[in-house]
């Protein structure tokens, strides 16, 4: 999606920005496995995913 919207934004920039937001506690990450993570802007305790 990023590449289609703006070819000047690299995938590394997106993930670096997500990690910055995570470190500042502005988002939360749920890592489901080695290759997949979900990012959530709602940092309060809530049920984001069901199994």
> Given a cut of 50, is residue 8 above it in pLDDT?
yes
**CA 28, 5, 32: angle at the middle one, nearest 5?**
30
> Given a cut of 90, is residue 28 above it in pLDDT?
no
Which strand (E) or helix (H) includes residue 18? helix 11-23
Work out the percent of the chain whose per-residue pLDDT is above 90: 22
The model's pTM is 0.62
CA distance 18 to 50: 23
Which two three-digit tokens encode residue 50? Answer: 């069901």
- Read off the pLDDT band of 50 (50, 70, 90): very low
pLDDT of 51 reads: 42
């Amino acid at each position: 999606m990023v590449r289609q919207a703006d070819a000047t934004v690299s995938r590394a920039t997106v993930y670096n920005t997500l990690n910055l937001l995570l470190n500042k506690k502005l988002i939360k990450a749920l890592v489901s496995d080695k290759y997949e993570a979900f990012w959530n802007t709602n940092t309060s305790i809530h049920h984001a995913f069901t199994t």
